[in-house]
Amino acid sequence: MKLYMTPGSCSTGIHILLEELDLVFEAHLVNLMAGDHTTPEYLAINPKATIPTLVRNDGSALTEFQAIAYWLARSYPKAKLLPGDPDGDARVIELIDYVVGTLHGQGFARIFTTDKFAANAADFEAVKAQGLDIVNRAFAVVNGSLPPQGYAAGAFSIADAALFYVEFWADKTGVALPERCLAHYRLMLARPVVRRVLLEEGYRVD
């Protein structure tokens, strides 16, 4: 398989899951700043021009964090990356969708890609402030849904990989995490695979 990824991005969550499953794959770096995602070669693989993209062994490409994470969990059930019961699975998907759609898509996106939300540079600071407000309110919601300790669904699941990448962004941008989110982030940082992935992606692990 081939993972098209950008270090420190949402694709880090998928990278973690692939390593947790001990799967053999090739990592292909996509430099978003350089516009690699808009080249004809990449668009032929993923016409959405997004990351991550997972090209599977049959040559088919799968996009969107939620879809890739779900496919990995269902394809390798022995790893138990989903709780396995309807309510548990639904709660995991609920959390992932909120992380990707709200924390990432509405909050951090305004902070990282401000120009996509405002045509006038004079509005950039207001857009970033709005993004930060969305991020803080969303983390408060997630915090209320997490257990006092441990992983999001009790045992490690695909939800933890999703939540980790936005917690990582918060850490790197100086956003204070609420108590349970911070405990979750520290728990993930202590996980050997997570530490290895961060090192592979060029980040120091203290």
DSSP string, 62-120: EESHHHHHHHHHHHSGGG--S-SSHHHHHHHHHHHHHIIIIIIIIIIHHHHSGGGT-SS
In whole angstroms, give the CA distance from residue 93 to residue 134: 20
157 is catalytic: no
Reference 157, options 184, 124, 118; nearest CA is: 184
The CA distances from residue 22 to 17, 79, 143, in Å, are 9, 10, 30
| 175 neighbors 138 (Cβ within 8 angstroms) | no
In whole angstroms, give the CA distance from residue 68 to residue 63: 6
Cα 78 to chain centroid distance, Å, stands at 22
In whole angstroms, give the CA distance from residue 127 to residue 119: 11
- Using DSSP's 3-state secondary structure scheme, residue 190 falls into coil
From 9, 60, 75, 145, the catalytic residue: 9
- Using DSSP's 3-state secondary structure scheme, residue 20 falls into helix
**Which residues belong to the active site?**
9
